């Protein structure tokens, strides 16, 4: 069988460079093209699957090009709102054979942590998230933390659980974090960190902490390579690696 021809968008970035190395070392795939900021997307025309780790401001234009060209896409770039996802679905209506996989986090442990948090949410009215990242990260909160908060909020809604009480009446701006739906998310940025998330639940006389640490960007690669292999057989939009892992 001929190797999967993979294009990488953002190939000189922290994630893109790691993806190029991973594809080069993987069986059954090869690099078809790499594109960075300021370069023409047309170089990707010969790729079967393109991996995008660029910037929230760039990713929608990239995706529109890929869908129009009939190229499957595996996207790790953050910044996907419900509205953006709906736009991608709209583009895919005229290209039903194209697969797009968008995942806020490709690390297995992060995907499991999100699923465990989703399972725990109906048992605990009070939940807060702390995400910790390197200080070169452009967006806050992280896409993973935002997605985790949405999953917790959705699980509570489905179970009819109201968010827990919080007696704060006086607050320095930002001290209680950002609200994603009804879940508070706190963002830490420090050199030395890679990507970390702690999901905290509080109940009667107990707390539950679910923590995941990516200590190296290699932690994302098994998920990205799985996505590259699977996206060709999954037409339409898939959001979250959990769907590919059948979790």
Ligand X SMILES: O=C(O)C1=N[C@H](C(=O)O)C[C@H](O)C1
Q: Is 76 annotated as a binding residue?
A: yes
2 CB neighbour count, 10 Å cutoff: 7
Binding flag, residue 137, ligand X (CB under 6 A): yes
Per the annotation, the verdict on 137 as an active-site residue is: yes
Strands 183-189, 126-133: pairing is parallel
Q: Sheet holding 195-203: strands in order across? A: 178-180, 183-189, 126-133, 195-203, 206-214
38 labelled as ligand-binding? no
Answer for the pair 155, 127: CB distance below 8 angstroms, yes or no: no
Q: Minimal distance in Å, beta carbon 212 to ligand NDP?
A: 12
80 is in an annotated binding site: no
Stretch of residues binding ligand NDP (CB under 6 A), selected from 65-73, 87-95, 101-109, 164-172:
101-109
Task: Establish whether 72 is a catalytic residue.
Answer: no
Query: Any contact of residue 161 with ligand NDP (CB under 6 A)?
Result: no
Q: Tell me the window of 16-24, 61-69, 80-88, 141-149 that interacts with ligand X (CB under 6 A).
A: 141-149
C-alpha pair distances (Å), 237 with each of 9, 51, 232, 234: 19, 15, 11, 8
Q: Residues 44, 51, 92, 103: which binds ligand NDP (CB under 6 A)?
A: 103
- Give the shortest CB-121-to-ligand NDP separation in angstroms: 22
Interaction between residue 55 and ligand NDP (CB under 6 A): yes
Does residue 34 bind ligand X (CB under 6 A)? no
- Residue 10 touching ligand NDP (CB under 6 A): yes
Helices (H), 12-142: 14-25, 59-68, 82-93, 108-120
User: Taking contact as CB under 6 A, which single stretch among the options 70-78, 116-124, 182-190, 228-236 is the one that binds ligand NDP?
Assistant: 70-78
Told to check if 104 binds ligand X by CB under 6 A, we report yes
How far is the C-alpha of 164 from the C-alpha of 153, rounded, in Å? 12
Closest approach, Cβ 190 to ligand X, in A, equals: 12
Q: What is the CA radius of gyration of the chain?
A: 19
Among the listed residues 72, 95, 133, 147, the single catalytic one is 133
**Per-residue CA distances from 57 to 79, 84, 176, 196, 213 (Å):** 8, 12, 28, 23, 26
Task: Classify 35 as helix, strand or coil.
Answer: strand
φ, ψ at 141 (rounded to 5°)? -70, 170
Binding residues: 10-15, 36, 76-78, 103-106, 134, 143-144
Binding residues for (S)-2,3,4,5-tetrahydrodipicolinate: 134, 143-144
Q: What residues line the site for ligand X (CB under 6 A)?
A: 78, 104-105, 133, 137, 142-144, 195
Tell me which residues are annotated as active site: 133, 137
């Amino acid at each position: 069988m001929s190797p999967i021809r993979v294009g990488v968008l953002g190939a000189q970035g922290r994630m893109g460079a790691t993806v190029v190395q991973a594809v080069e070392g993987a069986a059954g795939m090869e690099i078809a093209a790499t594109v960075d900021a300021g370069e023409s997307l047309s170089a990707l025309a010969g790729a079967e699957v393109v991996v995008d780790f660029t910037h929230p401001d760039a990713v929608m234009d990239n995706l529109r090009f890929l869908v129009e060209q009939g190229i499957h896409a595996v996207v790790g770039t953050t910044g996907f709102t419900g509205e953006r996802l709906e736009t991608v679905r709209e583009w895919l209506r005229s290209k039903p054979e194209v697969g797009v996989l968008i995942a806020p986090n490709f690390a297995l442990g992060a995907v499991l942590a999100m699923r465990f948090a989703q399972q725990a949410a109906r048992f605990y009215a009070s939940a807060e998230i702390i995400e910790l990242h390197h200080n070169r990260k452009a967006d806050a909160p992280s896409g993973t933390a935002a997605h985790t908060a949405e999953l917790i909020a959705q699980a509570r809604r489905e179970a009819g659980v109201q968010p827990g009480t919080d007696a704060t009446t006086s607050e320095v701006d930002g001290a209680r974090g950002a609200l994603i739906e009804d879940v508070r998310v706190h963002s830490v940025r420090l050199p030395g960190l890679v990507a970390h998330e702690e999901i905290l639940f509080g109940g009667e006389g107990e707390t539950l902490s679910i923590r995941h640490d990516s200590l190296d960007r290699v932690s994302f690669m098994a998920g990205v390579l799985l996505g590259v292999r699977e996206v060709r057989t999954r037409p339409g939009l898939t959001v979250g690696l959990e769907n590919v892992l059948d979790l």
